[in-house]
Structure 1
Amino acid sequence: MMSDSTNVLSPGRSVSETAVAESLLRHVSAAKGRVVATQFASNIHRLGSLKAAADLTGRKL
């Protein structure tokens, strides 16, 4: 079995996925043109956040 985690050895805490989703929505709303986003393939929740931001701003994913 293999596993990997970004910044696993970094001290401190990361923000919640809810906070990330809110930030995504703010940035997508403010964008005047296309929005390009990348993510890790394993982060399905983040893809849902991107979809929600697209839906709420009338954009396509």
Structure 2
Amino acid sequence: MSFGPYAYFIVISYLAVALVVALLIAWIVADYRDQKRRLRELEDSGVVRRSGRSAREP
């Protein structure tokens, strides 16, 4: 399979897109872990979520 005279541009473009997607995935994973850590800190300090209460609690 030959890409012709634009092979270098095509390969570099695909590599750049793959790098951007990988960075976005890493950013999302890091943010998810940070949000979970923050939520755990809040819960440990006594803050509760409304969805975490039982139906009998006011």
TM-score with structure 1 setting the length: 0.31
Rg (Cα) greater in structure: 2
Q: Which has the higher helix share?
A: 2
